């Protein structure tokens, strides 16, 4: 990196993703600030801890912020909240005194940067951050890392040119590498399609089937459906101008077999009564594929099932509320 001063990092969202990457960066010696909505008292008292067989156990006291203005002066802001809350995140980012900050969306799905671009100042630089990791928050400030951790970073838009943006993405990749997090710079759109190849089948099917990755992979019929869904995403990406590597699907299937009874994030959202990320993970890529002249019929069918499940869940919650 050309700048010898250590950058300051802000993190919005202290679930499994934000907690993991923020804590790894702090563990490497960086100044990291966490904007926390709930569990502030526990974090201030007990700090944040990471439990991981591959990385070891890590524990630090952390800087807990209750207002987004406390992130002013941060060079990078990592956003790891669900895409369903991006409008609220944009309102927070617009409150920063200095909007010329670099924002990385560590989120699943497609079209996230386009959505955010329309809601934040033009001088705010947006980056896509695609995380290939199995991690979850088990309690406030407690992160359980089951495996993975690599992150692909791509510049989307902002005050920087495409060349300057790529250089900035490389600087962030260096910070992650120094924190023992494998990272590489890639095209933002290409990276999002790559992650969708995994997210589309496993997230949705985990909810529809109430199943973890091991049980899905062990069933021949389910494995065939997973493969079909993956291929539809690969074909849709090609229709949209993004040719994915031939080895991507086999590599993802192989790595998923090595996961130990992992429940994807959407399953946790469903069991926790949260809104599912159907727009980012299903509707947006479906629309992109259809606009380009393609389609994903099995993905569309999976979306229809998830929409039914979401509507049923919302109806049940509404009936539980007192009149």
What pLDDT, in 10s, does the model give residues 279-293? 999 999 999 999 999
Q: What is the pLDDT of residues 179-194, one digit of tens each?
A: 999 999 999 999 999 9
Last residue of a domain, one of 164, 186, 208: 186
Query: What range defines the domain where residue 23 resides?
Result: 8-186
Active-site residues: which are they? 195
Are 255 and 170 found together in one domain? no
Q: What is the CATH number of the domain that holds 132?
A: 3.40.50.720
Are 172 and 49 found together in one domain? yes
Q: Cα angle at 229 between 227 and 233, to 5 degrees?
A: 115
- Residues paired with residue 136 on neighbouring β-strands, in sequence order: 144
pLDDT value at position 322?
A: 61
pLDDT value at position 315?
A: 87
106 occurs within a structural domain: yes
pTM of the predicted model as reported, rounded to 2 decimal places: 0.92
Structural domain count of the chain: 2
Last residue of a domain, one of 140, 158, 186: 186
Residue 195 predicted with pLDDT over 50: yes
């Amino acid at each position: 990196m050309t700048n010898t001063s250590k950058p300051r990092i802000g993190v919005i969202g202290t679930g499994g993703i934000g907690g993991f990457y923020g804590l790894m960066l702090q563990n490497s010696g960086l100044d990291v600030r966490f904007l926390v909505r709930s569990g502030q008292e526990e974090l201030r008292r007990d700090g944040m801890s990471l439990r991981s067989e591959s990385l070891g156990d890590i524990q630090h006291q952390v800087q807990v912020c209750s207002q987004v203005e406390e992130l002013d002066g941060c060079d990078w802001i990592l956003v790891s909240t669900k895409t369903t809350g991006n409008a609220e995140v944009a309102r927070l980012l617009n409150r920063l005194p200095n909007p010329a900050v670099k924002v990385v969306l560590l989120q699943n799905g497609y079209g996230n940067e386009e959505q955010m671009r329309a809601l934040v100042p033009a001088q705010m630089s947006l980056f896509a951050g695609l995380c290939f990791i199995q991690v979850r928050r088990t309690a406030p400030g407690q992160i359980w890392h089951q495996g993975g951790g690599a992150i692909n970073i791509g510049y989307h838009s902002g005050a920087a040119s495409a060349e300057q943006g790529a250089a900035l993405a490389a600087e962030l990749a260096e910070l992650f590498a120094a924190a023992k997090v494998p990272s590489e710079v890639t095209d933002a759109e290409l990276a999002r399609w790559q992650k969708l190849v995994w997210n589309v089948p496993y997230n949705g099917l985990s909810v529809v089937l109430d199943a973890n990755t091991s049980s899905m992979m062990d069933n021949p019929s389910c494995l065939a459906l997973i493969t079909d869904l993956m291929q539809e995403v690969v074909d849709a990406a090609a229709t949209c101008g993004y040719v994915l590597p031939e080895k991507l699907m086999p590599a993802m299937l192989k790595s998923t077999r090595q996961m130990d009874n992992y429940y994807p994030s959407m399953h946790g959202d469903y069991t926790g009564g949260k809104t599912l990320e159907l727009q980012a993970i299903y509707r947006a890529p479906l629309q992109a594929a259809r606009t380009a002249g393609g389609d994903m019929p099995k993905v569309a069918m999976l979306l229809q099932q998830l929409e039914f499940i979401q509507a049923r869940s919302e109806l049940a919650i509404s009936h539980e509320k007192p009149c």
